[in-house]
Amino acid sequence: TLFVEYGSGENPYEYETAVQTVSAGKSAKFKIDQLSPDQTYTYRVQCKPAGQRGPFAPRSSHTSATLPSENETFSFAYATDSHAYAQWAQNEFKPGGGTDASFALLLKNFENLAADTLKFFVIGGDWVMTNCHNCKGGIADDGVSYPTGDALSLDVAEQRYTKIFSPKLYGSVTKKLPFVYVLGNHDGEQGFTTGIETCESDSPTIKAVSEQARLAMFQNPANTYRNGDPLGRYYKLEA
């Protein structure tokens, strides 16, 4: 059972959302409104086990900034094709195929820029890798066993989303910097047949579980999209 409290300036927790109860391991979606442009807000989650008496317990506080007013300039970042899930070796999670130091530096740069420069960032695809027939799998550094190959069930697809957005990876950035994502050809929703890198044959299983996992984890940016598309797969940036 949880809610979000947030605010700015001398009233960092002036507002709060309605309380929700969600199953363990599932995402909750809160509407944050009454926000002003070009303003830094503090927020935190308050939570407790469902049905438990007593006060809520606060999680760590974070900050995030809103976009400036219309016609004002701002900066955002774009990063793509980390292929983070694909690389597994020596029982250790290694994002970027041995270039884990470069990937870690990228995330650290995003974190450092978030406070002063960036307003949001875009992940350009091939990050969750639900369509990845050569993913090695194995034991990750958190002690969890991850399957090899493609994600052929909803549980496996959600597991990959959870891993990629863990505090050690993109989660280190998303706690303080808003983001949107674009799907890559290895993110499952083009429906490539296992091991075949063409669009000539579809894999409905990978496509279906990839879509379900994404929509369960990230209902972003809204429930309705242009032309009635319920999947939110496309974005347009107006400058």
Q: Which residues pair with 179 in a beta bridge?
A: 121
**What is the maximum alpha-carbon separation in the chain?**
58
pLDDT at 40 over 80: yes
- How would you write the chain as a 3-class SS string? CEEEEEEECCEEEEEECCCECCCCCCCCCCCCCCCCCCCEEEEEEEECCCCCCCCCEECCCEEEECCCCCCCCCEEEEECCCCHHHCEECCEECCCCCCHHHHHHHHHHHHHHHCCCEEEEEECCCCCCCCCCCCCCEECCCCCEECCCCCCCHHHHHHHHHHHCCCCCCHHHHCCCCEEECCCCCCCCCCECCCCCCCCCECHHHHHHHHHHHHHHCCCCCCCCHHHCCCCCCCCCCC
Better pLDDT: 162 or 139:
162
Confidence of residue 153 (pLDDT cuts 50, 70, 90): very high
**Can you tell me whether residue 230 is helix, strand or coil?**
coil
Confidence of residue 119 (pLDDT cuts 50, 70, 90): confident
Is 182 within 8 Å of 124 (Cβ atoms)?
A: yes
Q: What is the model's pLDDT at position 196? A: 46
CA separation for the pair 192, 194 (Å, rounded): 6
pLDDT at 191 over 90: no
Cβ neighbour number for residue 119 with a 10 Å cutoff = 17
pLDDT at 213 over 80: yes
pLDDT at 26 over 80: no
Is 129 within 8 Å of 191 (Cβ atoms)?
A: no
Work out the average pLDDT over 33-58: 91
CA 177 distance to own-chain centroid: 11
Q: What is the model's pLDDT at position 6? A: 95
